[in-house]
Amino acid sequence: MARGDRRHPESVAGGWFVDDRCIGCGGSVSLAPTLFGLASDGKHFVMTRQPATEEEVLQAQLAAEVCPSRSISTESGVTWRRHHPLEIAPAIWRTGSNSPKTAGGNAFLVQRAAGNLLVDAPRFTPALRAWMESLGGIVMILLTHRDDVGEADRYADAFGAKVVIHAADADAAPFADRVLTGADTCEVAAGVLAIPTPGHTEGHIMYLTDDGTLFTGDSLGWDPYRHDLGAEPYMCWYSWPTQVDSLQRLGGYDFARVVPTHGTISPTLQPGDMRRRLEALIARLRRDLADG
């Protein structure tokens, strides 16, 4: 729970606030982009506007639930019944309990008759373990890249789940059972493709499920302000030109929903619309590269 005695001085007056322990991960902002903004130091987020509607109060509650530093709360200390794990699409759940080890990255559980999948890993909690058990456990953990391994090892041990990662990032998950190599797309589970997309990190992978959901790690998301696909060079740690090339590869796949580990989940669109938006994004990014 956020500490009132450490309320960030730039948080707007009112009941909801962010304290100065915020690590600036942006996880909460992706759930309530109109309520938060960067502090003047550019390193922390603060409340820029108090929630004014029931929908905005819900957004603030969701943001508080995923905050890895527990930096968001109300002055009154009011509690609510937790919303997470939250079903964001049919049979796809955002787990909540975001881990500081992943800089607040989201993790997702995909329910499947052949065995449930965990995409990236949240903080390990008894409550989340019990919830996963109630759904039949997990058989595989799909890691998008080194930054979001989190506590995957503990979930793998708890459920005997296999762990997938790319060789270029495998040192971050030495417990992984399946280490992918090269640049070729492969099927890691029935109807689930692993698409190597280096750029953000050398071993970055996206995962495409047969319902058209593309789990994009940290390489592609939805811009809540422009209402369009988005990718930014400041979030790239390995090679920005390589990342742009990787994004262009996605034009060969049909996907209807973008689900990033960090960032905003897209609405569900027709694959043709996604492809057009992707092409426009890549054209803009290549122009920016050419302009230096």
Q: Domain map of the chain by residue range? A: 4-74, 86-291
The answer to pTM > 0.95 is: no
* CATH homologous superfamily for the domain 86-291: Ribonuclease Z/Hydroxyacylglutathione hydrolase-like (3.60.15.10)
* Per-residue model confidence as pLDDT tens digits over 100-109: 999 999 999 9
CATH of domain 4-74: 3.30.70.20
Distance CA 229, CA 266 (A): 8
Each residue's pLDDT tens digit, 42-95: 888 999 999 999 999 999 999 999 999 999 999 988 888 889 999 999 999 999
- Model confidence band, residue 2 (pLDDT cutoffs 50, 70, 90): confident
The residue behind tokens 């059972």 is 177
Q: Is 69 exposed, middle or buried (0-12, 13-18, 19+ CB in 10 A)?
A: buried
The string of pLDDT tens digits covering residues 167-222 is: 999 999 999 999 999 999 999 999 999 999 999 999 999 999 999 999 999 999 99
